[in-house]
Chain A
Amino acid sequence: MTATEDNALKLDPEEARRVRQERLEHIGKWVLPMAIMVLAIWFWDRICVWNGIPQYILPRPGVVLQTLHDDAGLLFSSLLVTLKITFLSLLLAVIGGVGLAVLFAQSKWVEMSFFPFAIVLQVTPIVAIFPLINIYINNQTTKLLLCAWIVAFFPILSNTTLGLNSVDRNLRDLFKLNGATRWQQLRYLRLPAAMPYFLGGLKIAGGLSLIGAVVAEFVAGAQGQSSGLASRIIEAGYRLNAPRLFAALILISLAGILIFLVLSLVSHLILRRWHESALKQER
């Protein structure tokens, strides 16, 4: 009838308001943080000018940007060193975390026996462990890797373990009914079921492995043994080279954001077809 046709064409005020609100929120989500950012940088610049703050205490944003450009060679090669440690340790964390989780999933007894030690490793601050590592391991890269790995592997281990254990009971019965072997159950049921949990852990571990790498470099860098971004920061601090310090800081921060975005994208691509977390809310 005409009534239904009208409904299809013209939205009532409430629905129209909702649509408008949604559109505004969508734009605001991007525009507002950008605006705040620009405003804050402008304010930072103004503070420097108004108070006549010297460059070695607080450089103006323009100067930081200039340093980023002038010292690009030095800073980016350092960034590369830090990223190498970050990715290697993330890779090892994935292998170690998933490997241990699969081992734990094979038997409750194994899990009961070893899980507490994983927690001990996790809750002991890495800065406190580092001097020990420093004594026992000579190779610089191995040292840093071990540190970053200890920090990053736990969220992957604990999330994957949780995922492997939260398989639907009926699905487990189905596999049993069809005479599935332990390996088949792992491959076709438990590993795919654990995927969303694993990816959640991976996102946390990505950030943590960068933190682990930077912290390890800090401790190592204090002894003048590292060439990563953290040691650039310490060096710049000693020399009162504040612009370079800021530039290095910005690079680390950007690397962290990039790692998070890439891992979020990977997670979305893998889960988008079936998992609730990757679906748009339906009305």
Chain B
Amino acid sequence: MIQEKVAQSTASGEGPMLLSLRNVGKAFSNGVTALSKVDLAIREGDFLSLLGPSGCGKSTALRLIAGLSTPTSGQLDWRGSIDRSKIGFVFQEPTLLPWASVFDNVWLPLRLKGVSRARAEPAVMEMLSRVHLNGFENAVPRELSGGMKMRVSIARAMVTKPRILLMDEPFAALDEITRFKLNNDLLELWQDERFTVVFVTHSVFESVFLSSRVVVMAARPGRVHGELAIEAPYPRDEAFRTSPDYAALCRQASDVLVNAINSTAGPHHDGH
């Protein structure tokens, strides 16, 4: 395995260690090795992107972290014991309850913990205003646009004040204008609250714009190929998106990604 260290991972992480994956592997009964010997250290306050081609196991890694699946080998060490409710998860699709109003959808995680509507209301309304959905609390999902549905999904994940937010290609299905807007709003939210984010994406540009660390993964078997610290200061805005610094970082990340793709043995490199 080629381990390409573009930058020292310790250089970017300021906060204390939150979670470390040590030698983690995941194999499925159909013979696919989704992950092999993954080492990853996630520090509190990180905005970490997992970047890689399809089939590199980034979603599998996220599901392992979420506890939705257990590793075949290796282990995950949480600092202290983490309660499941301290993990927020945003899926690729908005994954809302289609019969429930926006309010009820955001209320859901609290409701499952036995919080009444009245007691949940302040938290839900605050979260809705944080994702700029004031006035939509009574709408049902089908009355919303794709971007708004994703905002509801983010609000739902954040309403429990999670310590770590796991996002599985959340903006992949959105148009570019909406994606940029949501990128900006997500960064704003992250800077205010300083939770930890693990963000799965296959977009070099998105990962560089958002993250403090980009971890590049390679496929067959899924593994960590290299890491890149994105040391551009926050807040990052539209000016950063068009700056030469950003372009240079994208190029760097892209080079590592191309390297990762080429390192994959096999007759074809185009995913499937």
Q: Pick the contact of B97: A178, A184, A192, A279 (CB < 8 A).
A: A192
Q: Within A152-197, which residues are at the interface with B (CB < 8 Å)?
A: 168, 170-171, 173-180, 184, 188-189, 192, 195
Residue of A nearest to B84 (CB): A179
Q: Within B99-126, which residues are at the interface with A (CB < 8 Å)?
A: 99-100, 108-109, 111-113
A171 — which chain B residues lie within 8 A by C-beta?
Answer: 95, 97
A179 — which chain B residues lie within 8 A by C-beta?
Answer: 84-85, 112-113
Residue of B nearest to A192 (CB): B99
B85 — which chain A residues lie within 8 A by C-beta?
Answer: 178-179
B181 close to chain A: CB less than 8 A: no
Q: Pick the contact of A177: B89, B100, B142 (CB < 8 A).
A: B89
A279 — which chain B residues lie within 8 A by C-beta?
Answer: 142
A17 close to chain B: CB less than 8 A: no
Q: Within B16-73, which residues are at the interface with A (CB < 8 Å)?
A: 66-68
The smallest C-beta distance from A198 to any residue of chain B, in angstroms, reads 13
The smallest C-beta distance from A265 to any residue of chain B, in angstroms, reads 18
Could you tell me if A184 and B98 are in contact, using CB atoms closer than 8 angstroms? no
A189 — which chain B residues lie within 8 A by C-beta?
Answer: 97
Q: Give the complex CA separation of A168 and B93 in angstroms.
A: 11
B109 — which chain A residues lie within 8 A by C-beta?
Answer: 178
Q: Give the complex CA separation of A170 and B95 in angstroms.
A: 7
Could you tell me if B95 and A188 are in contact, using CB atoms closer than 8 angstroms? no
Q: Give the complex CA separation of A184 and B114 in angstroms.
A: 10
Could you tell me if A170 and B141 are in contact, using CB atoms closer than 8 angstroms? no
The smallest C-beta distance from A177 to any residue of chain B, in angstroms, reads 5
B246 close to chain A: CB less than 8 A: no
B100 — which chain A residues lie within 8 A by C-beta?
Answer: 192
A273 — which chain B residues lie within 8 A by C-beta?
Answer: 99, 140
A173-B68, A274-B140, A274-B142 as given contacts; A178 in contact with B113, CB under 8 Å:
yes
Q: Pick the contact of A176: B68, B93, B160 (CB < 8 A).
A: B68
A177 — which chain B residues lie within 8 A by C-beta?
Answer: 66-68, 84, 87, 89
B84 — which chain A residues lie within 8 A by C-beta?
Answer: 177-179
Q: Within A237-283, which residues are at the interface with B (CB < 8 Å)?
A: 273-275, 279
A274 — which chain B residues lie within 8 A by C-beta?
Answer: 98-99, 140-142
Quick one: CB contact mask for B138-150 with A, threshold 8 Å, 1 for yes?
Answer: 0011100000000
A195 — which chain B residues lie within 8 A by C-beta?
Answer: 99
B91 close to chain A: CB less than 8 A: yes
A173 — which chain B residues lie within 8 A by C-beta?
Answer: 66, 68, 89, 91
Quick one: CB contact mask for B192-211 with A, threshold 8 Å, 1 for yes?
Answer: 00000000000000000000
The smallest C-beta distance from A179 to any residue of chain B, in angstroms, reads 6
Q: Pick the contact of A170: B93, B113, B160 (CB < 8 A).
A: B93
Could you tell me if B111 and A188 are in contact, using CB atoms closer than 8 angstroms? yes
Could you tell me if B89 and A174 are in contact, using CB atoms closer than 8 angstroms? yes
A192 — which chain B residues lie within 8 A by C-beta?
Answer: 97, 99-100
Q: Give the complex CA separation of A178 and B68 in angstroms.
A: 11
Residue of A nearest to B156 (CB): A174
Q: Give the complex CA separation of A173 and B93 in angstroms.
A: 13
Q: Give the complex CA separation of A210 and B108 in angstroms.
A: 41
Q: Give the complex CA separation of A212 and B92 in angstroms.
A: 48
Residue of A nearest to B114 (CB): A184
A175 — which chain B residues lie within 8 A by C-beta?
Answer: 112
Q: Within A106-129, which residues are at the interface with B (CB < 8 Å)?
A: none
Q: Give the complex CA separation of A180 and B91 in angstroms.
A: 18
Q: Give the complex CA separation of A95 and B197 in angstroms.
A: 47
A180 — which chain B residues lie within 8 A by C-beta?
Answer: 112
A175-B112, A178-B109, A179-B85 as given contacts; A275 in contact with B98, CB under 8 Å:
yes
The smallest C-beta distance from A283 to any residue of chain B, in angstroms, reads 16
Q: Give the complex CA separation of A188 and B96 in angstroms.
A: 12
B89 — which chain A residues lie within 8 A by C-beta?
Answer: 173-174, 177
Which residue among A176, A178, A180 has the maximum number of chain B CB atoms within 10 Å of its CB?
A178
Could you jot down 27 A-B contacts, CB within 8 Å?
Answer: A168-B95, A171-B97, A173-B66, A173-B68, A173-B89, A173-B91, A174-B95, A177-B66, A177-B67, A177-B84, A178-B84, A178-B113, A178-B160, A179-B84, A188-B111, A188-B112, A189-B97, A192-B97, A195-B99, A273-B99, A273-B140, A274-B98, A274-B140, A274-B141, A274-B142, A275-B98, A279-B142
6 new A-B contacts at CB < 8 Å, known A177-B67, A275-B98: A170-B93, A171-B95, A174-B91, A176-B68, A178-B85, A179-B113
